[in-house]
Structure 1
């Protein structure tokens, strides 16, 4: 097995290779405006670091969000393209689940917690977890003040938690998504015979960019 994992659902453009036992190489860059520019070169560098060719990949894993439309689709389209060209399966995983899993490696939390990423528009994407592998609620998007009662007393990880200390007073790292964690979680679940998510984006709301209302259609005479 050789898993190629990518995620662009957050400001982190992150890539990793996993051989089913451990992470062979990984890279992350945080830049919310350059997902499309940074992702493919990062894949090339990770493959080079591991001394492998793209043709050796047997599975592709992609973070399906939730995340903003523009960034999220870069990773998904890239993953689906690799899957089509290589003739290998493409698996989806929740970006929030990847962050939750990474929190265990960081040794940051022991017990129930929340993962929250920045959804912009003064909102967060979030979910509650019993532990690093067990999500208790479906991913949602809300204003932090509106969920204060639901997350009260719980530690939280992710950039969204760090942005809103009034709602998440016990915010901790990791701040950004890690494809290394995503790949490790995928390898663990695949080895256990679990079915992962389809590579379908989880947006939770409309894109920020929309066609203006009262748009005037001009037709040729």
Structure 2
């Protein structure tokens, strides 16, 4: 008999009401959520820089509010961006460490999808454009046309960088203050139930790092 995959085991636990999904995102501030027994508990910090300092306290708050234990977590939803390098790496590292410690799978999702879900479920009829400050006079932009049959936002344009000077406003745009981790939990549950794939476990920085390896090593003469 073939054993179930890690993701299949998460789904099985969810269907039985025995599992909990933890979500962590640090692309905009810090957002943590825990979905357990049909309810989602969320704690947030809007500080754009102190992700590492905030994340431990936020984790403690959602577990305390839910009454769940760490051992109840069957999957960790990780926000992979788009976002700046410094912010994203804190949340991704925390999610990886938690998943490794518990021996549960990572469930990567794009943060803009969570923002789009909140807007589209509120009744947006013409899709939504999610716009996020990328610093350096640039913007992260993703377009969504609506929700599919499983209630998952459909990307009509992948995340990309746009120079602020070239950006043209749209009536259906939204500029989130943070990525809602509670919506990441909701999206993960829908993807699991519908058999959808998750994103690659790779951060979406959308730009090359500032520090690059030299293309050649210079010889030093004696």
TM range (shorter): 0.7 to 0.9
Find the counterpart in structure 2 of residue 140 from structure 1. 160
Displacement of 1:101 in angstroms is 1.0
> 2:50 matched to 1:34?
yes
Q: Distance in 2 between matches of 1:46 and 1:78?
A: 15
For the 8 Å contact 2:116–2:130, the answer to whether it is kept is yes
Equivalent residue of 2:117, what SS?
A: helix
Show structure 1 runs of 5+ residues with no match.
160-174
For the 8 Å contact 1:90–1:198, the answer to whether it is kept is no
For the 8 Å contact 1:3–1:60, the answer to whether it is kept is yes
For the 8 Å contact 1:22–1:184, the answer to whether it is kept is no
> 2:35 matched to 1:18?
yes
Q: CA offsets, 1:122-179, max 9 Å, x none?
A: 111111110251111111011134242xxx54411124xxxxxxxxxxxxxxx32110
For the 8 Å contact 2:131–2:140, the answer to whether it is kept is yes
Q: Distance in 1 between matches of 2:108 and 2:37?
A: 16
Find the counterpart in structure 2 of residue 55 from structure 1. 71
Deviation above 4 Å: which 4+ runs of structure 1?
A: none
User: Greater CA radius of gyration, 1 or 2?
Assistant: 2
Q: Distance in 2 between matches of 1:96 and 1:110?
A: 18
The alignment yields a C-alpha RMSD, in angstroms, of 2.3
Taking a change above 3 Å as real, the CA distance of residues 117 and 181 of structure 1, as seen in their structure-2 partners, is same
Q: Distance in 1 between matches of 2:104 and 2:166?
A: 42
Displacement of 1:206 in angstroms is 2.5
- Select the residue among 180, 188, 191 that pairs with 2:190: 188
Taking a change above 3 Å as real, the CA distance of residues 89 and 143 of structure 1, as seen in their structure-2 partners, is same
Show structure 2 runs of 5+ residues with no match.
1-18, 148-152
TM-score, scaled to structure 2 = 0.80
Displacement of 1:114 in angstroms is 0.4
For the 8 Å contact 2:22–2:76, the answer to whether it is kept is yes
Equivalent residue of 1:195, what SS?
A: coil
Q: CA offsets, 1:49-103, max 9 Å, x none?
A: 1001111100000110010000000010111111111000001000111111122
Find the counterpart in structure 1 of residue 20 from structure 2. 2
For the 8 Å contact 2:120–2:128, the answer to whether it is kept is no
For the 8 Å contact 1:3–1:20, the answer to whether it is kept is no
TM-score, scaled to structure 1 = 0.80
Q: Distance in 2 between matches of 1:90 and 1:20?
A: 20
Displacement of 1:19 in angstroms is 2.8
Name the count of aligned residue pairs: 194
Q: Distance in 2 between matches of 1:53 and 1:37?
A: 22
Residues 1-221 of structure 1 aligned to structure 2 (within 5 Å): 1-10=19-28, 12-19=29-36, 21-23=38-40, 25-105=41-121, 107=122, 109-132=124-147, 133-148=153-168, 153-159=170-176, 175-207=177-209, 210=211
